[in-house]
Amino acid sequence: MDQASIIHDLLDWLESHLDQPLSLDNVAAKSGYSKWHLQRMFKEITGQAIGSYIRARRLSKAAVALRLTARPILDVALQYRFDSQQTFTRAFKKQFEQTPAFYRRSDTWSAIGICPPIKLSGNNLVPVEYVMQQDKQLVGVTQSYTCTLEQLSQSKTAIRAQFWHQYLGNQPIDIPPVLYGLNHTRPSQEKDDEQEVFYTTALEPQHVPQGVEGHPITLQGGEYALFRYNGPPDGLQQFVLTLYGTCLPLLKLTRRKGYDVEIFHTKNGTKLGDDIPSVIRGEYMIPIQR
């Protein structure tokens, strides 16, 4: 196995063990190389020192936990192997230029400071378009569910399909040509290690089928980062995680308040109740400020 393949496998292993002890002795034992040889090989392949990379990824994971859950800062610090809240705060402030408490309270969410996971498979930057949107009137229904951060990476295809069936009903109607999924999250008010996800299934008023009800929704205008998706339904969630974990940090973007917007384009003649298509086509828009 060549060195790039070895480091590729090690990166995957590190990513799934960031909340575990990762001393150089442990990591070297996993790789099968001496500490000296591993550090030299890691730096040659990735351009980063292994210890600095592990710390930066842990702090990035901690930053997500601070924004999406209500867990106490000390709990987050201990999960990612910092021995005290003070040590964590010093390291966090060095990477993000603000304290964990301020980072959590901010109305906007800057991606600056997030260290993306290293991928050796090539360019991981999804093409982006910056678009200005006017206020748009939609009609839809909002539902919610809770999940842990660990469950975020799981496909939400079944949940989306369930919400659309509940909104449109069980009539054998033609699915409208454009579907909107609006979502935003907040820390759960019942469990501090979970987040509550609000998902709105919505249509443009002229596309609402007869007999389908909903409430008026205003999709607020402003600037959005637009990313196009064309792939399997089960791949959409990983696509979104890549946008937040890699693209926004590399683009140095700040997410402002508002909905994330999913726009799905359907084929003519697609009926409710048909099997989920093997490929979906659409856009994912994130509200930003620059």
CA–CA distance, 80 with 118 (Å, rounded to integer) = 18
- Residue 215's pLDDT is 95
Residue 150, pLDDT score: 86
What does the alpha-carbon distance between residue 103 and residue 64 come to, in Å, rounded to a whole number? 10
Backbone angles phi, psi at 110, to 5 degrees: -80, 135
In 3-state terms, the chain is what percent helix, strand and coil (to 5)? 40, 25, 35
Q: What are phi and psi of 99, to 5 degrees?
A: -75, 160
CA-CA-CA-CA torsion for 27, 30, 31, 37, nearest 10 degrees? 40
Domains and CATH numbers, the chain: 3-106 (1.10.10.60), 129-289 (3.20.80.10)
pLDDT given at position 9: 92
Q: Supply φ then ψ for residue 198, to 5 degrees.
A: -105, 125
pLDDT score recorded for residue 230? 95
- The rounded distance, in Å, linking the Cα atoms of 285 and 276 is 22
CA distance 225 to 83: 38
For residue 97, what are the contacts with CB-CB under 8 A and spacing of at least 6?
112, 113
For residue 74, what pLDDT is reported?
97
pLDDT tens for 242-285 read 999 999 999 999 999 999 999 999 887 666 666 667 889 999 99
Q: Which residues of the chain carry a pLDDT beneath 70?
A: 1, 122-123, 170-172, 269-276
Q: Which residue has the tokens 């906007």?
A: 108
pLDDT at 274: 63
The DSSP result for 99-115, as a single string, is: -HHHHHH-SSEE-TT--
Number of C-beta neighbours around residue 248 at 10 A:
23
Per DSSP, the residues of 170-237 read SS-PBPPSEEEEEEEEEE-SS-TTEEEEEEEEEE-GGGPPTT---EEEEE--EEEEEEEEEE-GGGHH
Which helix (H) or strand (E) element contains residue 42?
Answer: helix 35-46
The answer to whether the CB of 59 falls within 8 A of the CB of 98 is no
> What pLDDT is recorded for position 1?
63
Q: How far apart are CA 94 and CA 23, in angstroms?
A: 21
* pLDDT (0 to 100) of residue 59: 98
Its pTM stands at: 0.92
Q: What is the pLDDT of residue 123?
A: 65
Q: What is the pLDDT of residue 212?
A: 87
